[in-house]
Amino acid sequence: MGKPEAWSKEPTQDKLDVFVSSRLQECKAERAAARSAIQSINHNPVLFEHLGARSIKPRSLYLSRLRDSQLMIAIYRDGYGYIDAVGGMDISGLEDEYQFAREHGIPLLLYVFADSSGRDERLKRLIDAASPNVTVWYYNTPEELEARVRDDVTSEITRFVIRPEVARGVLANSSRDLLDRAVKRQGELVDRHEALSTLKAESEKNPILCVYGRAGIGKTTLVAQYAEQEQAIYVRVNGLAPLDLFSVCAGAVGSLPNGPAYSTLQEPFSALPPPGRTRNKSHSSWMSASSFPSF
């Protein structure tokens, strides 16, 4: 009997997950139109109202599903949305989803109702903040929106295939960029001296560390703070196979000017030692943060 051929693990996801962000009742017709458009091109729409009951908090649920999605569609009409002040929130779930998508490199398609006469001022500010980063499309009816979403999602998928180097760049943001955005959003960063000291101590004992916890708890910010503290290279990569991941990290450390480009689908983060630094245990450690479940 001959020896079987070697095999490699390949991605088995057959459809894109497309997260739909909007107010549920106000945009009920628009959400139905987006769902129909996404299904018509044989991909998977992710809508909160279709997720069913879960044993976790709503924010953990919607951010976890958004984190696992490859594209987000945002539909804004008039209302800004509910703010869960009891849960410690000072922004609505609508803005929370937008900020999460931006911070984690999830491509965003933004659709805004053309008539702004009844629009909440907070939503206006959110749209104004988003407009420099994306091309906004203004719609008048759900039927018009459905056709537009179908064409735009198709175009975005084509962009992924034809231009992977611009389809969620691997080396997109430095740790300083991420921390500056966090300060701009919340005013100041939480003092994490104890956590950073723990990571420092653990990195001296272990070559690989994993920071894990529920969505939104601050894993990514913590790793960025560690990278800044250690003057390390901060590499943001998404959904790569192990060999590709090592190649990207090696390219970052070696400062290769024309390294390969990769498409990205999920969101591990790594802090690597800068070129020329001594490869002791502390600075050869990798800090990886992703939203793994807390066991």
Please report whether residue 272 resides in a domain.
yes
Please report whether residue 6 resides in a domain.
no
- Domain of residue 273: give its range: 175-289
Task: Give the pLDDT of residue 165.
Answer: 45
Burial zone of 110 (CB within 10 Å; 0-12 exposed, 13-18 middle, 19+ buried): buried
pLDDT tens readout for residues 241-275? 555 566 566 656 654 444 433 333 333 334 444 44
Give φ, ψ of 260 to 5 degrees: -70, 155
Tokens of 278: 């001594």
Do 194 and 220 share a domain, yes or no?
yes
Q: How many CB atoms lie within 10 A of CB 3?
A: 5
Do 157 and 181 share a domain, yes or no?
no
Do 33 and 67 share a domain, yes or no?
yes
Do 263 and 198 share a domain, yes or no?
yes
pLDDT tens readout for residues 102-124? 988 899 999 999 999 999 999 99
Please report whether residue 167 resides in a domain.
no
- Domain-terminating residue out of 111, 136, 162: 162
- Domain-terminating residue out of 110, 138, 162: 162
| Distance from C-alpha of 17 to C-alpha of 44, rounded to nearest angstrom | 5
- Domain-terminating residue out of 162, 187, 207: 162
For residues 199 and 242, the model is more confident at: 199
Q: How confident is the model at residue 173 (pLDDT cuts 50, 70, 90)?
A: low
Do 22 and 82 share a domain, yes or no?
yes
Do 139 and 188 share a domain, yes or no?
no
Task: Give the pLDDT of residue 126.
Answer: 96
pLDDT above 90 (res 45): yes
Beta-sheet strand order (sheet of 17-21): 44-46, 17-21, 71-76, 108-113, 137-139
Do 138 and 30 share a domain, yes or no?
yes
For residues 282 and 79, the model is more confident at: 79
- The partner residues of 139 in beta bridges, in order of sequence, read 113
CA angle 10, 17, 83 (to 5 degrees): 135
Render the burial of 43-67: b for 16+ CB within 10 Å, e for the rest: bbbbbbeeeeeeeeeebebbbbbbb
Q: How confident is the model at residue 236 (pLDDT cuts 50, 70, 90)?
A: low
Lowest mean pLDDT among 76-85, 147-156, 281-290: 281-290
How many domains does the chain contain in total? 2
Please report whether residue 52 resides in a domain.
yes
The H-assigned helical ranges of 49-92 are 58-67
pTM of the model: 0.57
Do 21 and 140 share a domain, yes or no?
yes
Question: In sequence order, which residues have a C-beta less than 8 Å from that of residue 240 and are 6 or more positions away?
Answer: 170, 248, 262, 264, 268
Please report whether residue 10 resides in a domain.
no
| Distance from C-alpha of 95 to C-alpha of 97, rounded to nearest angstrom | 5
Do 28 and 126 share a domain, yes or no?
yes
Please report whether residue 144 resides in a domain.
yes
CATH code: domain of residue 132: 3.40.50.10140
Do 156 and 70 share a domain, yes or no?
yes
For residues 238 and 20, the model is more confident at: 20
For residues 155 and 292, the model is more confident at: 155
pLDDT tens readout for residues 179-190? 887 787 777 787
When pLDDT is averaged across residues 215-242 and rounded to a whole number, the result is 75
Do 123 and 179 share a domain, yes or no?
no
Do 149 and 209 share a domain, yes or no?
no
Task: Give the pLDDT of residue 238.
Answer: 54
Task: Give the pLDDT of residue 187.
Answer: 76
